[in-house]
Amino acid sequence: MPNDLAVVETVSGMLEAEILRGLLEAAGVRVELSHEAALSAYALGVGRMARVDLMVRLDQEDIARRVLEEYRSGTLDRPDSPGPLPED
């Protein structure tokens, strides 16, 4: 079903969740966050309250996982990027 969701990443805190949501949405992937309402009521989360799942539609799961992998590995292709940084 097109409305079924898959968890593609679990992060610790809303800041990282919002960064990754922006990254995925820039790639055309719609993202839902778990615990969004609970975490917005508290400035800080502790333990399980700090965990946020990034969920995407099943038909966008492969794209989302690829984007996250490229982001984590530092190989994310950006059209405005001048290319890789020179190594020292």
**Which is nearest to 35 in space by CA: 6, 56, 14?**
14
pLDDT for 85: 46
What are the residue ranges in the chain where pLDDT is below 70? 1-3, 35-49, 77-88
pLDDT for 66: 94
Burial (0-12, 13-18, 19+ Cβ within 10 Å), 50? middle
Residue 61 lies in a domain: yes
pLDDT for 65: 96
Range of the domain at 55: 5-73
Residue 83 lies in a domain: no
Answer yes or no: are the C-beta atoms of 20 and 67 closer than 8 Å.
no
- pTM of this prediction? 0.71
pLDDT for 37: 46
pLDDT for 39: 47
pLDDT for 34: 87
Give the CATH number, domain containing residue 54: 3.30.70
Number of structural domains the chain divides into: 1
